Amino acid sequence: MATENKNLSAYDKDKVPFAKGYRFGLVVSQWNPEITEGLYQGAEAALLDCGALAGNLHRLNVPGSFELPFGCKKLIDWGEVDAVIAIGSVIQGETKHFDFVCSATAQGIMDLNVQTKVPVIFCVLTDNTMEQAKDRSGGRHGNKGTEAAIAAIEMAALSKK
């Protein structure tokens, strides 16, 4: 696993652009809420730690990961964000549903990055087990939401250059 022996929550605040002037969208899947809420909390905490203002964080909930691209597009269309973080969790089951949801979600988020001027960060866990998802959403590997927040800040700064 790519996260083995890596803490996803580790970042050097001195190397991250100051986030005070940026507005962030956080689109959160309601499927697997134990995981997605942990990811959201990690992202929110990192954004605030790096200077983002609480009033500049805009949360939008969607039913599942498949709906994340639509939610991200809505926030972009409303013109209130400099970067968006798509937060979801898809856990392998016994059918191919996992493959279709993961592929479509990744493709939809990638399409938004190519078609719009607002960066969209992929913070969708695609794990084999619930334990793996817990480990990466605030557990023993840290929090992928934190990592996504740092990427969002960096991309917001890049898009303003």
Catalytic residue among 6, 13, 97, 140: 97
In this predicted structure, what is the pLDDT of residue 5? 59
141 is catalytic: no
pLDDT band at residue 2 under the 50/70/90 scheme: low
DSSP letters spanning the chain: -TTTT--TT---GGGSPP-TT--EEEEEE-SSHHHHHHHHHHHHHHHHHTT--GGGEEEEEESSGGGHHHHHHHHHHHT--SEEEEEEEEE--SSTHHHHHHHHHHHHHHHHHHHSSS-EEEEEEEESSHHHHHHTEEETTEEHHHHHHHHHHHHHHHHH-
pLDDT over 70, % of the chain: 96
Domains and their CATH numbers in the chain: 35-160 (3.40.50.960)
Average pLDDT, the chain: 94
The model's pLDDT over 35-86, given as tens digits with 9 standing for 90+, comes to: 999 999 999 999 999 999 999 999 999 999 999 999 999 999 999 899 999 9
pLDDT band at residue 1 under the 50/70/90 scheme: very low
In this predicted structure, what is the pLDDT of residue 3? 53
pTM over 0.75: yes
The model's pLDDT over 100-127, given as tens digits with 9 standing for 90+, comes to: 999 999 999 999 999 999 999 999 999 9
